[in-house]
A and B are shown apart, each in its own frame.
Chain A
């Protein structure tokens, strides 16, 4: 009888220790999984070359930001940016030099915007920024700052030093009948104007 009790006691103790060990392993796995999920989320939302967010992530975040601005009647502006004559960089210096330009320009832009601004590589050499609680004037000032920062960059390829410029289109949220799609479309139209007027400039959207 004693021996049966002793066997049960030992088994109970081993079960207790095994359960503790299983809980420790489960906790460790959960933490690893959480960290991997964070990393996957970062990878799936980021453009691997420039470190800017990708368009999919930007679109989802921009939609929420627009709804917030709408609900609380806050200012909201969009800046659309395109590196001038980027194709010439690729054609003349090669794609590695083109990639270096994209990385350099993206770095200058990330350094120039605020932590609360949204950013994305919107297309090949086209970047987009959404500026919460910022009107057209403030967005214009920020875009000018980015334009200066981009123009101040220096690149070297094949023993040749070169610089690039960028054009910017700026638009702000309208009080009535607006949407995130329309806001981005207006900033894109303003960017087109900046290109048409000679590039290396910031153009705010104006109703025609």
Chain B
């Protein structure tokens, strides 16, 4: 997992909770990196799971809620950090299919070692998008937060339905359809 995700996470914990909470979380977590993250580095995704789990213990907020909240925040950070990806894109339904076909391709050019999730997309009918999320780290809550952050950014009048793919717990299907 790219270091940028970790640095953003620690900043968000500082901001939404407190530096003391952030330190307690780090102290409770199993972090081979020692929690010394740089945005250009790459770290084991297990460190993120450990951090979120510790934060949940400290704050008594369930892990899924923390990950969804972080996903929403992360999307807004992507908007400010990578404006080129958003140029000429007017809606979430237009943007989301580009994640797999364009953004991940560009990310791979810069970071060939990046382990990215896949988001295969289908449009069963106009105005509806079905995204199937697959990832070695299996963080569907974070993916949901990112998708919801994207919808909030563009303001599409759509709703999101989430289901685990039948027979495959490592695949999550998000159906984005008009409200």
Taking Cβ atoms with an 8 Å cutoff, the residues of A that contact B are 3, 7, 10-11, 13-19, 21-22, 25-26
Interface size of B as a range: 10 to 19
**Dominant secondary structure at the B interface:** loop
Q: Distance in Å from the Cβ of B44 to the closest Cβ of chain A?
A: 14
Closest CB in chain B relative to A33 CB, distance in Å:
12
Q: Which of A3, A14, A19, A25 has the largest number of chain B CB atoms within 10 A? A: A14
Q: When A and B form their complex, what is the total count of cross-chain residue pairs whose Cβ atoms lie within 8 Å?
A: 33
Residues on B lying within 8 angstroms of A by beta carbon are: 19-20, 23, 26, 34-41
Determine if B36 and A18 form an interchain contact, defined as CB atoms under 8 angstroms apart: yes
The answer to whether A22 touches B19 (Cβ under 8 A) is no
Q: In the complex, are the beta carbons of B20 and A25 less than 8 A apart? A: no
Q: A7-B20, A7-B23 are in contact. Are A19 and B35 (CB under 8 A)?
A: no
Docked Cα-Cα span, A26 to B19, in Å, equals 29
What residue of chain B has the Cβ atom nearest to residue A8's Cβ? B19
B23 to chain A: which residues have CB within 8 Å?
7, 10-11
Question: In the bound complex, what is the Cα–Cα distance between A11 and B26 (angstroms)?
Answer: 11
Cα–Cα, bound, A17→B43 (Å) = 14
Given contacts A7-B23, A17-B34, A22-B41, 11 further A-B contacts (CB under 8 A): A7-B19, A10-B23, A16-B36, A18-B37, A18-B38, A18-B41, A21-B36, A22-B38, A22-B39, A25-B41, A26-B40
Across the interface, B35 reaches (CB within 8 A) one of A3, A14, A22, namely A14
A15 to B38, CA, bound (A): 8
CB of A157, distance to nearest CB on chain B (Å): 42
Chain A residues contacting B38 (CB-CB under 8 Å) are: 18-19, 21-22, 25
- A47 CB to closest chain B CB (Å) equals 28
Q: What is the CA–CA distance of A2 and B38 in the complex, to the nearest angstrom?
A: 27
**Considering the complex of A and B, which 7 residue pairs feature the smallest CB-CB distances, nearest first?**
A17-B36, A22-B38, A14-B36, A18-B38, A18-B36, A21-B38, A7-B23
